Amino acid sequence: MAAYLCPPAVIHGRHTVKTSQIVADVRDRHPDAAWASRIDTIAASTGIETRGWMLPLEAAVAPGDGSGVLAAGAGPAREALARDGFTGQDVDRVIAALEAIPAPQTVQERTAPAWAAVRSYGEQAARGALQIAALDAADVDCLITSHSTTPALPGLDVALANSLPLPEDVVLLPATQWACIAGTRSLALAADLVAADPDRVVLVVIAEALSTTYQPADDTLESLIVRLLFADTAVAAVVTGRPRRESVLRLDAAWHHTLPGTQDLHRLETRADGTHFVMDRGGPRAVQKTVSAMWEWLRTRHQDDPGSWHPDVLLAHPGGTRVLEYMEQTMPEGWPAGLLEYSRDSYTSGNRGGAAVFDILRRAHDTGQEPGSRAVLYAAAPGLTATALEGQWL
């Protein structure tokens, strides 16, 4: 396996959303929640002060276009009240009050503008990646795409094939449900594709509008954390089977791992008011198991040089600070400190899901890496499933 990666293009959400704004919105809506007295401490523990969204916060918290919660059901409600002995005047007052309550947005109202943004941001990232690689859309042989919170058919792959436009014989490989693992797994797939044909040019595009999981009515502690964590980002990069002048990283090996029986720890649920990200408190501990398995993969790969081999940079998206801390605590003995500095830097402006590893990679590249330096890329996603790659800076 030898694949060559050009620097990624990273397009951040242009609407800055402050943690203080989210805290104010949640406190106003849920003053009596069990965790209300701890909201400031919880928000501070994320280490995130701002994040970029493709759409403004106002779009996520706005009421639906319906006239009220009884927009489609006033008749049955009126009949039920009358049967219970309410006078006609009382029924009118109750119905009027209920219709004055704003209806929540529907799944269509939440998803449609986000899907439009995903396509727009994805195209910007794709064009940026091609420019960085000094290639044209006509040079692309394969397109790999991922976008997890905006389900659509046709998806981002077909949208980009038309808007860029790409050659009619391009191979389209959409992977909508990869979620947080999209960065590493797309690179592993791209490496396999160019290994089969070194003349191939693979374009990877990941556009994540994770802010669509912001659900104002939810009052669980987990929903609070979800609202505080996520950011919107589109990324793209070109992978080739032969080194180019623009190539910055050679990918040498890939590793995949899936934990059985963990599929319910993190999941997306589509309800009447949109997409909800549901996570179990046992999630971080399960993710830690994939980290331990990755350490063993690297130990086995370098068992002939156990005392001196280590990566010079670790570009990891484990989903949160708890697992980053676990990674630092369990790294093999003798590895230098600071390997995760770019991962931590990226996380301070939000969890970018599938786009995270490309954002972390871009930060490492922009800082400057010595040719020959060793890199490990890692990500874990709902499933629980993980993919890591090992490579070398050019």
What confidence score (pLDDT) does residue 41 get? 95
Residue 337 falls within a domain, yes or no? Answer: yes
Question: Of 64-78, 99-113, 200-214, which has the strongest mean pLDDT?
Answer: 200-214
Residues 264-315: pLDDT tens digits? 878 878 887 778 888 877 777 888 899 999 999 999 999 888 678 999 999 9
Range of 256's domain? Answer: 249-393
Tokens of 344: 């931590």
Residue 339 falls within a domain, yes or no? Answer: yes
Residue 261 falls within a domain, yes or no? Answer: yes
Whether residue 384 is preceded by a cis peptide bond, meaning omega within 30 degrees of 0, is: yes
> What does the mean pLDDT of the chain come to?
90
Residue 236 falls within a domain, yes or no? Answer: no
Helix axes 107-132, 156-163, angle to 10 degrees: 50
Q: Is the pLDDT of residue 101 over 80?
A: no
For residue 266, what is the domain's CATH number?
A: 3.40.47.10
> Is the pLDDT higher at 166 or at 99?
166
Residue 352 falls within a domain, yes or no? Answer: yes
Residue 305 falls within a domain, yes or no? Answer: yes
Closest CA to 255 of 96, 391, 134: 391
Whether residue 198 is preceded by a cis peptide bond, meaning omega within 30 degrees of 0, is: no
Q: Is the pLDDT of residue 90 over 80?
A: no
DSSP three-state, residue 171: strand
Residue 195 falls within a domain, yes or no? Answer: no
Residues 10-20: pLDDT tens digits? 999 999 999 99
Give the separation between CA 382 and CA 389, rounded to whole angstroms: 19
Give the separation between CA 170 and CA 126, rounded to whole angstroms: 15
Q: How many distinct structural domains can be found in the chain?
A: 1
What confidence score (pLDDT) does residue 393 get? 98
Residue 234 falls within a domain, yes or no? Answer: no
Q: What burial letters (b/e) apply to 264-295, b meaning 16+ CB within 10 Å?
A: ebbebeeeebbbbbbbeeebbebbbebbeebe
